[in-house]
């Protein structure tokens, strides 16, 4: 067997170390208070969808305008991403355990990637699980849009996780800032007139839904007609969400690699 | 498989070259040049002296504003340098839900060790720090001393050449202190370089081979206590002499230009002297000439604390 010295700064050692860090981070996040919040949100979403299905006819249009956009896109999606991505680095920083990670020979970008990967995996699990529960309990109207809107959920989660992970790396009070952003700025920006709303992630999510919905025969909801919403095409929205996710992630890695956490 | 990517680091173990670090307008470390080699080096200084900054620069948490900090020729900030360094931080923070054993094993895995080697190294270092039998409880339930031992174990797990220990004896009971002191000595004897910061200066008297005195971001002096004390030749030194006829001895000593003051303390004479080397030579002559029976000779303010006080208050 090799001695400890043989593993100094080896690429395989770094990869192994990053994988362990991602798993440990994931396990800690699963057991955290945020998971309790996410579980409560999931249960609430399922109950709300079930209640909605009892009172409404199974019409896809209504499901989209009354459940999907106001509840899932505007609230649940950013909240799950926030709960999973914001503690990524910020929790270690706050609990002063980051010092141990920074004392290992893992390159900082790999530490950041491992942490972000754990956040993304968990956020994706929550958003997808909630999407499944929501559409299942909403009845036929919900189940009809489950698969077509899965890519929307996926890419929106990527963009939100990227953004909140960047907050986690760069800000001391990442959770507070992320909450303000998710609950106020996104709503405010997403409802701004004209093209001002194009700075909100939810705008591109909505554009992807409109695009996928058009293929299913859905029409824009009241107040969100194309002449008011000024949507971009589904392809452009997808490209923007991908690019945002990547850019936020890269900015987070860059910042983490240079930041003096002391 | 690992060989092509392994960095063969060389050069002095640790070197600070003209290192300065400031936070905005506040200078924390000012033009510090320092080399660390095998053995125990104590780092001493009052609050705000720059000890923490120096340690954070060495452990790669901070980057110098000016100058270089290198470990085995590698920039301390770089990931590769950290493979040579084990850090025992002063913060009392852990993943509290984990057991001590799991924590140390995870730290070994983060150093790139495969599971089997990580488990072996974990048992080895837990044994070294005396925690092998007590490491299965959650870290949150540990006493301060046990937490210090686990911190030390995680710093040792990858068998580093340099150990940076920030207040490692803080909260450890007297028996534990003695055990850890022996362990530090063993590690130093095994060729490891240990930088040890402690606010308990008595620790340094028994532990450190070499001491770095830091004040206001500058190194005041570095070397062994004896070397530094010898450099302070002009500074008065207190010496206690237990001898026959103490009153007569005191009167005789006061005639010497090297003795500034003398007082009787029971059967002993306490003298304040300058130029200690010359004084001891002259004392030997007096003792022989006058046939005093010297039973005890003790320098009572050559401790780390005393030397440190001299240095801090010294205005050459």
Query: What are chain B's domains?
Result: 3-224 (3.40.50.300), 230-313 (3.30.70)
User: CA A100 to CA B96: how far, in whole Å?
Assistant: 13
Q: How many domains does chain A have?
A: 1
Strand B237-243 to B268-273 pairing: antiparallel
Of A169, A36, A28, A72, the closest CA to residue B95 belongs to A28
What is the C-alpha to C-alpha distance for residues B311 and B239, in angstroms, rounded to an integer? 19
List residues in chain B touching A: CB distance below 8 A.
1-2, 5-7, 56, 59-63, 79-80, 82-87, 89, 91, 93-95, 97, 106-107, 109-114, 116-117, 121, 154-155, 157-159
Other C-beta atoms closer than 10 Å to the C-beta of A32 total 17
The pTM is what? 0.84
Report chain A's mean pLDDT, rounded to a whole number.
90
pLDDT of B277 reads 76
Q: Is A9 in contact with B6 (Cβ distance < 8 A)?
A: yes
Residue A47 within a domain: yes
Per-residue pLDDT reduced to its tens digit, A34-73: 999 999 999 999 999 999 999 877 788 888 888 998 899 9
Q: Is residue A5 part of a domain?
A: no
Question: Can you give the pLDDT at residue B234?
Answer: 64
Q: Is the pLDDT of residue A16 over 90?
A: yes
pLDDT of residue B316: 52
Q: For the purposes of burial, counting CB atoms within 10 Å of the CB of B11, is it exposed (0-12), middle (13-18) or buried (19 or more)?
A: exposed
In a domain, A192, yes or no: yes
Question: Closest to B111 (Cβ–Cβ): which among A3, A7, A96?
Answer: A7
Name the percent of chain B in helix, strand, coil, to the closest 5.
Answer: 40, 30, 35
pLDDT, position B48: 85
Range of the domain at A225: 10-258
Question: Structure tokens of B98?
Answer: 């984990």
* Chain B CB within 8 Å of residue A6 CB: yes
Per-residue pLDDT tens, chain B, 316 aa: give them.
Answer: 333 334 444 557 899 999 999 998 899 999 999 999 999 999 988 888 899 999 999 999 999 999 999 999 999 999 999 999 999 999 988 999 999 999 999 999 999 999 999 999 999 999 999 999 999 999 999 998 999 999 999 999 999 999 999 989 888 888 888 889 999 999 999 999 999 998 777 778 788 999 998 988 999 888 887 777 666 666 677 888 988 888 988 898 888 888 888 888 888 899 888 877 788 888 888 888 888 888 888 877 667 777 777 776 665 5
Question: Is A33 part of a structural domain of the chain?
Answer: yes
- Residues with Cβ within 8 Å of A252's Cβ and at least 6 positions away in sequence, in order, are A112, A116, A162, A165, A166, A168, A169, A170
E strand or H helix at B246? helix B246-254
Q: What is the pLDDT of residue A3?
A: 57
Q: Cα–Cα distance between A212 and A218 in angstroms, integer?
A: 9
- Substitution target in B23, B79, B81 with the highest count of A β-carbons within 10 Å is B79
Any domain includes A4:
no
Residues of A in contact with B154 (CB under 8 A): 100
Mean pLDDT of A232-244: 95
Q: What is the value of ipTM here, to two decimals?
A: 0.88
> How is residue A80 written in tokens?
């799950």
């Amino acid at each position: 067997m090799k001695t400890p010295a043989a593993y100094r700064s080896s690429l395989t050692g770094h990869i192994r170390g990053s994988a362990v860090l991602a798993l440990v981070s994931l396990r800690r996040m699963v057991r955290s208070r945020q998971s309790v919040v996410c579980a409560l949100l999931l249960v609430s979403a399922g109950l709300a969808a079930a209640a909605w299905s009892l009172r409404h006819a199974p019409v896809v249009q209504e499901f989209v305008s009354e459940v999907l956009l106001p509840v899932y896109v505007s609230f649940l999606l950013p909240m799950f991403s926030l709960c999973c991505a914001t503690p990524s680095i910020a929790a270690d920083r706050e609990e002063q355990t980051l010092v141990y990670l920074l004392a290992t020979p893992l390159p900082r970008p790999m530490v950041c990637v491992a942490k972000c990967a754990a956040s993304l995996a968990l956020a994706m699990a929550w958003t997808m699980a909630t999407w499944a529960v929501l559409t299942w309990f909403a009845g036929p109207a919900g189940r009809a849009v489950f698969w077509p809107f899965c890519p929307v959920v996926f890419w929106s989660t990527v963009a939100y996780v990227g953004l909140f992970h960047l907050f986690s790396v760069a800000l001391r009070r990442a959770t507070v800032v992320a909450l303000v952003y998710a609950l106020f700025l996104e709503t405010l920006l997403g409802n701004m007139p004209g093209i001002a709303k194009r700075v909100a992630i939810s705008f591109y999510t909505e554009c992807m839904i409109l695009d996928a919905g058009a293929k299913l025969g859905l029409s824009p909801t009241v107040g969100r007609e194309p002449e008011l919403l000024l949507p971009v095409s589904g392809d452009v929205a997808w490209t923007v969400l991908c690019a945002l996710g990547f850019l936020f992630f890269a900015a987070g890695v860059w910042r983490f690699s240079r930041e003096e956490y002391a | 498989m690992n060989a092509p990517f392994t960095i063969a680091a060389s050069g002095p173990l640790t070197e600070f070259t003209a290192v300065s670090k400031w936070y905005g307008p506040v200078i924390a470390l000012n033009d510090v040049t320092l080399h660390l080699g095998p053995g125990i080096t104590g780092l001493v200084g009052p609050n705000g002296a720059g000890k923490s900054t120096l340690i954070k620069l060495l452990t790669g948490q901070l980057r110098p504003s000016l100058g270089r900090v290198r470990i085995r020729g590698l920039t301390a900030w770089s990931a590769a340098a950290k493979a040579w360094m084990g850090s025992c931080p002063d913060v009392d923070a852990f993943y509290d839900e984990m057991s001590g054993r799991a924590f140390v094993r995870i730290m070994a895995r983060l150093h790139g060790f495969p599971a089997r080697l990580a488990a072996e190294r974990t048992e080895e270092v837990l044994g070294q720090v005396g925690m092998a039998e007590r490491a299965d409880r959650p870290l949150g339930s540990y006493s301060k001393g046990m937490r210090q031992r686990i911190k030390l174990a995680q710093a040792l797990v990858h068998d580093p050449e340099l150990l940076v220990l920030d207040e490692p004896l803080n909260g450890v009971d007297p028996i534990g202190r003695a055990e850890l002191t022996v362990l530090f000595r063993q590690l130093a004897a095994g060729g490891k370089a240990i930088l040890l910061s402690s606010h308990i200066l008595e620790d340094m008297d028994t532990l450190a081979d070499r001491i770095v005195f830091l004040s206001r971001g500058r190194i005041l002096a570095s070397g062994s206590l004896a070397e530094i004390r010898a450099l302070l030749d002009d500074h008065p030194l207190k010496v206690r002499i237990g001898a026959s006829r103490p009153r007569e001895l005191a009167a005789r000593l006061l005639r010497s230009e090297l003795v500034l003051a003398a007082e009787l303390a029971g059967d002993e004479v306490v003298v304040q002297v300058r130029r200690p080397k010359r004084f001891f030579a002259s004392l030997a002559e007096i003792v022989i000439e006058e046939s005093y029976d010297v039973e005890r000779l003790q320098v009572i303010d050559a401790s780390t604390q005393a030397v440190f006080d001299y240095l801090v208050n010294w205005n050459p």
